[in-house]
Amino acid sequence: MKNSPVELKNIFLLSALLLCFSMGARTRFVRVMFSGNTSNSATIIWDQQRGDFKGLYCDTVNPERNQYKDAKLLTSSNTWKGMHTHCIRLKDLKANTKYYFVIKDSEGFGSLYYFYTAPNSPNESISFIAGGDSRDNRPVRTKGNKLVPKLFATAVLFNGDFIGLDNEKQWVEWFADWENTIASDGRVTPMIVTRGNHETSNKDLVKLFDVPNKKVYYSSTFCGDLLHIVSLNSEIHKAGRQKLFLKQALAKHADYQWQIAQYHRPVRPHVKAKKEMETQYKHFVPFFEQYANLPLCLENDSHTFKVTWPIVSSNDASSAEGFKRDDSNGIVYAGEGCWGAPLRDADDAKIWTRDCGAVNQFNWIIVSKEKIQLRTVLYENEADVESLSYTNRFSIPKGLALYGPKNGELIEIFPRNKEQFEQHLIKSKN
């Protein structure tokens, strides 16, 4: 049966319309990254799935669309893991300020987003969601993602094993699920990331998250001299350049109120099947232990929960696996997953383990000059949790399920007595 000229015209128009729709521009997977000084800089990243980028507009006020000016141009772009990732590094931002941004491409303006820069005063408080290991279970990890905007954190510290298999399909799925961390009004919680063993190359972190060092170890600072976070790479040599970086980074921030270290693999995993990270014990821990202002390390990888008492390295008779409890001078090691990866039993508790257990969780951390408060959030009831706002973002939201094992749901870390700590260092060297 032949089509009439009118039918042929209609088919042609419909085909042209469908082609236009499928070829139209599309931006997706918007994220904001922190590194360096988080009170005056940030990187905006997205996947330009279709069409051409024309400019990013960023301002402290939300202007009408026809008033956007001073388009920001790309810092870099790349094609990696099935996405055309675009990055724009923003500098000279104002501290503690809400920045709106919108991306314009060949089809027009995209959605409006915003994020907050960190404060610049050590008298301010900040909060973090810290976790990792989102690998395989999409429904579970999505629950964790949906809780992110509700906690109104300063940043998410995501410590590796984003995906199970390092391929295009899983990365696209990961970013699709991560969209749930964006609040309904467009608020984006910035991220600081480290590499896990399921990321088979440093390039994943550099290309997808614009990590500022190709070996994926770097510093981020918050609130002037309140906090230095040192992000390390468990998946490459610990000695050599990374060790030198760590030594210099910790020394440079010795006068800050706090330093926190984060990396993927635990020095002493709480799952028996996981190997002890002797290289980190040898090359990282001695530097951590030299600084009175470094009382907390964030670890992942095992797909379980653990938090230790404050511990120091030791081979005393009272030690276990190279550490002993020291409430005055020790470091608390917290984390071990699990943001959607297969849960594992915490079957390797030590005498200095404060609590452990196989639960899906991430840490919620509030940092002020006076103390660090660390809680473990069971994120799976996210639908029952009320959203925090800018003004009450350090309160516990109604419905939040906090893990409360035998030693309690709140861990508080106070500044160490520096003189006492110096004496401890002298004694430990002798």
Please give the residue whose beta carbon sits closest to Fe ion in the complex: 301
d(CA 41, CA 221): 11
Pick the closer one to Fe ion by CB: 271 or 400: 271
- Least distance from Fe ion to the Cβ atom of residue 161, Å: 4
* SS3 call for 423: helix
Q: Considering beta carbons, is residue 265 or 283 the nearer one to Fe ion?
A: 265
Q: Which is nearer to Fe ion, 196 or 310 (CB)?
A: 196
Nearest distance in Å: CB 402, Fe ion: 25
CB of 265 to Fe ion, least distance (A): 6
- When asked if residue 161 is in the footprint of Fe ion (CB under 5 A), the reply is yes
Our CB check for Fe ion shows the closer of 149 and 160 to be 160
Taking residues 384 to 423 in sequence order and writing x for each that binds Fe ion by CB under 5 A, - otherwise, the string is ----------------------------------------
Q: Which residues pair with 108 in a beta bridge?
A: 105
Q: How far is the CB of 384 from Fe ion (least distance, A)?
A: 30
The least distance separating Fe ion from the CB of residue 92, rounded to whole angstroms, comes to 37
Please identify, using beta-carbon distances, which residue of 176 and 273 lies nearer to Fe ion: 273
To the nearest 5 percent, what fractions of the chain are helix, strand and coil? Answer: 25, 30, 45
Q: Does residue 382 bind Fe ion (CB under 5 A)?
A: no
Residue 357: CB minimum distance to Fe ion, A: 19
Applying CB under 5 A, among 196, 266, 295, 330 the residue interacting with Fe ion is: 196
Q: Measured from the CB atom, is 81 or 274 closer to Fe ion?
A: 274
Backbone angles phi, psi at 222, to 5 degrees: -135, 140
Binding part of the chain for Fe ion, among 155-163, 223-231, 342-350, 352-360 by CB under 5 A, reads: 155-163
Instruction: Name the residue nearer to Fe ion (CB basis): 151 or 267.
Output: 267
Q: Is the Cβ of residue 336 or residue 355 nearer to Fe ion in the bound state?
A: 336
Q: What is the DSSP letter of 152?
A: T
CB of 197 to Fe ion, least distance (A): 4
Choices 61-69, 153-161, 182-190, 326-334 (CB under 5 A): range interacting with Fe ion: 153-161
Report helix, strand or coil for 37: strand
In sequence order, what are the beta bridge partners of 114?
A: 100, 187
Count of beta carbons in the 10 Å neighbourhood of residue 273: 10
- Cβ nearer to Fe ion, comparing 163 with 359: 163
Least distance between Fe ion and beta carbon 393 (Å): 30
Query: Which of the ranges 13-21, 48-56, 280-288, 295-303 carries the binding residues for Fe ion, by CB under 5 A?
Result: 295-303
Among 60, 62, 123, 197, binds Fe ion (CB under 5 A): 197
**What is the 8-class DSSP label of residue 50?**
E
Shortest CB 243 distance to Fe ion, Å: 21
| E strands present in 293-409 | 296-299, 305-308, 311-313, 323-325, 332-335, 353-357, 362-367, 372-377
Among residues 106 and 167, whose Cβ is nearest to Fe ion?
167
Q: Per CB under 5 A, which region of 122-130, 184-192, 272-280, 294-302 contacts Fe ion?
A: 294-302
Start-to-end CA span in the chain (Å)? 97
Which of helix, strand or coil describes residue 251? helix
Neighbours of 158 (CB within 10 A): 24
For 425, list phi and psi in degrees, rounded to 5: -65, -45
Q: How far is the CB of 311 from Fe ion (least distance, A)?
A: 22
From residue 27, how far is each of 24, 110, 128, 189 by CA, in Å?
Answer: 10, 7, 27, 18
Which residue, among 132, 147, 414, 413, has the nearest Cα to 299 in the 3D structure?
Answer: 132
Stretch that binds Fe ion, among 74-82, 183-191, 227-235, 296-304 (CB under 5 A): 296-304
Decide if residue 342 touches Fe ion (CB under 5 A).
no
Give the interface size with Fe ion as a residue count (CB under 5 A). 4
The Cα angle at residue 208 between residues 202 and 214, in degrees rounded to 5:
35
Angle, vertex CA 101, rays to CA 99 and CA 106, nearest 5:
170
User: Is there binding between residue 301 and Fe ion (CB under 5 A)?
Assistant: yes
What's the CA gap between 261 and 299, in Å, rounded? Answer: 9
The distance from CA 250 to its chain's CA centroid, rounded to whole angstroms, is 20
Q: What is the DSSP letter of 75?
A: S
CA distance 333 to 331: 6
Tell me which stretch binds Fe ion (CB under 5 A): 53-61, 160-168, 317-325, 328-336: 160-168
Q: Is 341 within 8 Å of 161 (Cβ atoms)?
A: yes
CB of 194 to Fe ion, least distance (A): 11
Residues that bind Fe ion (CB under 5 A): 161, 196-197, 301
